[in-house]
Amino acid sequence: MVAQSARNLWTIFRHEFSLYFGSPIVYFIGALWFLFVGVFFSISVASFNQGAPLTMDNTISTMGFLAIFIAPGLTMRLISEEMRTGTHELLLTAPVRDWEVVVGKWLGAWGVLTVFVLISLIFPLILTFLGSPDGGDILTAYIGLWLLWGMALAIGVMASAMTPYQIIAFIISLALLIGLWLAQAVFNFIPNPLIQEIASEATIFSHFQNTMVQRGIIQVENLVYFIGVIAIALFLATNFLGTRRWRA
């Protein structure tokens, strides 16, 4: 059972991962990402010269922030396109479970992001030539970045399972991610401590920038947050895919 699922996940992952690198869009997105991140890194380097501490905080925050826009673009295709072109008919009649399809596709997208992240390790490498940055801090921030992206991509997969229209999937996941990023700012206007507390727990800020990036710590609740949202999003995506069978 487990071996079978692992094999199915691997098959789907491999297919999706290579589809990404077979299309020009990934190279375009990758180029855009490195352009952005490179600019922010250069600004940081300029500030190091003026005596600021040698950290990756701003650069990694930027890489995290880009998830809002890039993750929806990377994932919108994943399930929507299959539903639109009808290829899902064969996928859903192959001996793979719906959750394996969803998770395999998500892993494919996360794999692409992982490639981006690995390439971006060039930036901390540059830092080591400029001085001696805190390796633990950088590692923690990178773990946060990787989890944040996993979450953003899971939300994107969910949106893609909701509709055969890629552009609608893009808008849904973009809206959800902006919401998760800005919830705190919005709810700060509501003078109710409980609501503010919930909003702050729900935002990406408090689990990513404020802790893993800036303070360099990983708390259990940060892990629970990211892994929990990933699990919920993928669970819902599996259900949306399942309802496709009923509507056919």
Partner 1 sequence: MIQVEGLTKYYLGDQPAISNLSFYADRGEIVGFLGPNGAGKTTTMRILTGYMPASAGKAIVAGYDVMRQSIEVRQRVGYLPETVPLYKDITVWQYLDYMAGLHGMTNPDRTDRVEEVLDQVDMLDRADSLVANISKGMRQRVGLAQAIVHNPDVLILDEPMVGLDPDQRREVRELIQNLGEARTVMLSSHDLAEVEKVCTRVLVINRGRIVAEDSPEALANNMQGMQRFYVRVDNDAAGKLKELVMSVEGVAEAKVDDRKGGLEVIATRDSNARPAVAALIVSNNLDLLELRPLDMSLEDIFLQLTAEAEAELADEDEWDDLDDDEFDDLAEDLDEDEETK
Mask for 175-214, x = binds partner 1 (CB under 8 A): ----------------------------------------
Does 93 help bind partner 1 (rule: CB under 8 A)? yes
Does 85 help bind partner 1 (rule: CB under 8 A)? yes
Among 70, 96, 113, 199, binds partner 1 (CB under 8 A): 96
Residue 207 or 244: which CB sits closer to partner 1? 244
Contact segment (CB under 8 A) with partner 1 among 13-21, 57-65, 182-190, 218-226 equals 13-21
Residue 128 or 243: which CB sits closer to partner 1? 243
Give one DSSP letter per residue of the chain, joined into a string.
-HHHHHHHHHHHHHHHHHHHHHSHHHHHHHHHHHHHHHHHHHHHHHHHHTT-----HHHHHHHHHTHHHHHHHHHTHHHHHHHHHSTHHHHTTSS--HHHHHHHHHHHHHHHHHHHHHHHTHHHHHHHHHS---HHHHHHHHHHHHHHHHHHHHHHHHHHHH-S-HHHHHHHHHHHHHHHHHHHHHHTTS--HHHHHHHHHHSHHHHIIIIIITT----HHHHHHHHHHHHHHHHHHHHHHHHHHHH-
Among 50, 51, 189, 246, binds partner 1 (CB under 8 A): 246
Among 25, 31, 87, 128, binds partner 1 (CB under 8 A): 87
The whole-angstrom separation of Cα 136 and Cα 34 is: 23
Does 90 help bind partner 1 (rule: CB under 8 A)? yes
Among 19, 45, 168, 182, binds partner 1 (CB under 8 A): 19
Among 51, 86, 131, 193, binds partner 1 (CB under 8 A): 86
Mask for 31-70, x = binds partner 1 (CB under 8 A): ----------------------------------------
Among 32, 45, 92, 223, binds partner 1 (CB under 8 A): 92
Are 78 and 160 a contacting pair, CB within 8 Å?
Answer: yes
Does 129 help bind partner 1 (rule: CB under 8 A)? no
Residue 88 or 207: which CB sits closer to partner 1? 88
Are 158 and 173 a contacting pair, CB within 8 Å?
Answer: yes
Footprint on this chain of partner 1 (rule: CB under 8 A): 4, 7-8, 11-12, 14-15, 18-19, 22-23, 85-97, 245-246, 248
